[in-house]
Chain A
């Protein structure tokens, strides 16, 4: 289940309506966009403040500049193939971190460990970081 705005942030009562979702579909769609924005933000930070022009980025990825703009505006969603293209084009790897939204619960982390058995598993307080193991098995 995704986290609602009220769980993540402190919202003044008067403005709660601004951050409500009609249904779970809308909520999940918002969360999907936020995941994409985190990747795009990381890409911009990595590429340097002003150095990465949209034209250069679109040329590197083999897409139109307007497609890139649509992604940044949130009108389209990135897919994993495009993420792979970004990684290849910039010779980078996005590191993925899973964090339990409820730090007091250790059960979720244990389940993650079982599911991602082929990864080395490090726990730092409520944070689980997955890295590929030395043998490189998935």
Chain B
């Protein structure tokens, strides 16, 4: 399924970028902008992605099966609200590594993935963004 997305931020060398799904943009931005606490966490996650740093408590792969090899999750307040923004990673023809914030999922309850969560992650894995 080809979907549209919008540019949020990218590194100056153009090698990494973060985008947001056009359809879910309003919901995702509403979530991120709701207060300083959420904005602060998003700034950390942004710099971790753009800097290519490793921090699995804030951003990690969700490649639970072959259908979702390129799915990742931005993790907000692990152990508290436990919200997630599931993302699709893809590379452009020019070699830019893109992370698209696709779907917001609030209050992940357990460490184990529920059938609903697996379905959601697989859904994101099936997205193909036009960049």
Interface residues of A (CB under 8 A from B): 5, 8-12, 14-15, 17-19, 22, 26, 30, 33-34, 37-38, 40-41, 44-45, 69, 72-74
- Contacts known (A30-B43, A33-B44); A5 close to B55, Cβ less than 8 A: no
Other A-B pairs, 16, CB within 8 Å; known A9-B9, A9-B50, A73-B78: A9-B10, A10-B10, A14-B6, A15-B9, A18-B39, A30-B43, A33-B44, A38-B51, A41-B48, A41-B53, A41-B54, A44-B54, A44-B55, A69-B57, A69-B79, A74-B41
Q: Are A8 and B53 in contact (CB under 8 A)?
A: no
In Å, the complex CA distance between A5 and B48 comes to: 13
What residues of chain A lie closer than 8 Å to B6, measured between beta carbons? 12, 14
User: Could you name 25 residue pairs across A and B whose Cβ atoms are closer than 8 Å?
Assistant: A5-B43, A8-B12, A9-B12, A10-B10, A10-B12, A12-B7, A18-B29, A18-B32, A19-B46, A26-B40, A30-B43, A30-B44, A34-B44, A37-B47, A37-B53, A37-B55, A40-B55, A44-B56, A69-B57, A72-B55, A72-B56, A73-B58, A73-B79, A74-B41, A74-B44
User: Which residues 50-93 of B have a CB within 8 angstroms of A?
Assistant: 50-51, 53-58, 77-79
Q: Identify B58's interface contact among A15, A38, A45, A72, CB under 8 A.
A: A72
**B42 contacts A by Cβ under 8 Å:** yes
Say whether B41 contacts A5, CB under 8 Å.
no
- B131 beta carbon closer than 8 Å to chain A: no
Q: Does B8 contact A (CB under 8 A)?
A: yes
